[in-house]
Homo-oligomer: A and B are copies of this chain.
Amino acid sequence: MPDPCVVVIFGASGDLTARKLLPALFNLRRAGLAPEETCVLGTARTDHSNAEFAEHMRAAVEEHSRIAPDEESWGSFADDLFYVSGDLSSDDTYRALRAKLEQIDAGHGTAGNRVWYLATAPRFFPAIADGIGKSGLLDSGGWHRLVVEKPFGSDLASACELNAVLNRTFSEDQIFRIDHYLGKETVQNLLVFRFANAIFEPIWNRRYVDHVQITVAEDMGVGSRGASYDQTGALRDVAQNHLLQLLALVAMEPPVSWDATSIRNEKVQVLRAVRRWPPSECGTLTARGQYEGYRQEKGVDPKSSTETFVAIEYFVDNWRWAGVPFYLRTGKAMAAKVTEIAIQFQRVPHLLFAKTAVEELEPNVLVLRIQPDEGISLTFGAKVPGHDVNVRTVDMEFDYESDFGSGTPEAYERLLQDCMLGDATLFTRADEIEEAWEVVEPVLRYWSGGGRPGTYAPGTWGPASSDELPGRDGRAWRNPSL
Q: Which residues of A contact B (CB under 8 A)?
A: 33, 185, 188-189, 192-193, 195-199, 201-203, 207-208, 254-259, 262, 345-354, 356, 361, 363-364, 366, 376-378, 380-387, 389, 391-392, 394-398, 400, 403-404, 408-409, 414, 417-418, 421, 423
CA distance A462 to B391 in the complex (A): 38
CA distance A188 to B417 in the complex (A): 52
Q: Which residues of B contact A262 (CB under 8 A)?
A: 352
State whether B395 touches A348 (Cβ < 8 A).
no
Known: A203-B199, A396-B376, A398-B394. A256 touches B403 (CB 8 A): no
A-B CB contact pairs (8 Å), 11 listed:
A193-B383, A195-B352, A196-B353, A198-B208, A199-B208, A199-B345, A199-B380, A257-B354, A382-B400, A385-B404, A396-B397
A405 CB, min distance to chain B CBs, angstroms:
8
Q: Which residues of B contact A256 (CB under 8 A)?
A: 352
A436 CB, min distance to chain B CBs, angstroms:
23
State whether A398 touches B398 (Cβ < 8 A).
no
Which of A350, A418, A421 has most chain B Cβ within 10 Å?
A350
CA distance A33 to B384 in the complex (A): 16
Q: Which residues of B contact A418 (CB under 8 A)?
A: 387
State whether A353 touches B396 (Cβ < 8 A).
no
Q: Which residues of B contact A207 (CB under 8 A)?
A: 202
State whether A198 touches B395 (Cβ < 8 A).
no
Known: A364-B197, A409-B385. A396 touches B398 (CB 8 A): yes
Residue of B nearest to A395 (CB): B398
CA distance A304 to B152 in the complex (A): 81
A203 CB, min distance to chain B CBs, angstroms:
5
> Which residue of the partner chain, among B195, B352, B392, contacts A258 with CB atoms under 8 Å?
B352
A202 CB, min distance to chain B CBs, angstroms:
5
Q: Which residues of B contact A391 (CB under 8 A)?
A: 192, 196
State whether B198 touches A348 (Cβ < 8 A).
yes
Q: Which residues of B contact A254 (CB under 8 A)?
A: 350, 352
CA distance A304 to B413 in the complex (A): 68
A313 CB, min distance to chain B CBs, angstroms:
22
State whether B258 touches A198 (Cβ < 8 A).
no
Q: Which residues of B contact A353 (CB under 8 A)?
A: 192, 196, 258
Residue of B nearest to A257 (CB): B352
State whether A414 touches B395 (Cβ < 8 A).
no
> Which residue of the partner chain, among B259, B351, B386, B417, contacts A196 with CB atoms under 8 Å?
B351
A378 CB, min distance to chain B CBs, angstroms:
6
Given contacts A197-B364, A198-B346, 19 further A-B contacts (CB under 8 A): A188-B383, A189-B382, A189-B383, A192-B383, A192-B389, A196-B353, A196-B383, A197-B348, A199-B345, A199-B380, A202-B208, A257-B354, A259-B354, A262-B352, A387-B414, A387-B418, A387-B423, A394-B398, A394-B403
Known: A185-B385, A383-B188, A385-B409. A198 touches B354 (CB 8 A): no
A66 CB, min distance to chain B CBs, angstroms:
13
Residue of B nearest to A347 (CB): B198
Q: Which residues of B contact A202 (CB under 8 A)?
A: 202-203, 207-208
CA distance A214 to B231 in the complex (A): 62
State whether B349 touches A198 (Cβ < 8 A).
yes
> Which residue of the partner chain, among B197, B199, B386, B417, contacts A387 with CB atoms under 8 Å?
B417
A195 CB, min distance to chain B CBs, angstroms:
6
State whether B408 touches A385 (Cβ < 8 A).
yes
CA distance A224 to B201 in the complex (A): 52
State whether B197 touches A380 (Cβ < 8 A).
yes
Task: Give 7 nearest A-B pairs by CB, closest first.
Answer: A196-B381, A192-B383, A385-B408, A189-B383, A396-B398, A396-B396, A199-B364
A382 CB, min distance to chain B CBs, angstroms:
6
> Which residue of the partner chain, among B352, B409, B421, contacts A255 with CB atoms under 8 Å?
B352
CA distance A418 to B404 in the complex (A): 47
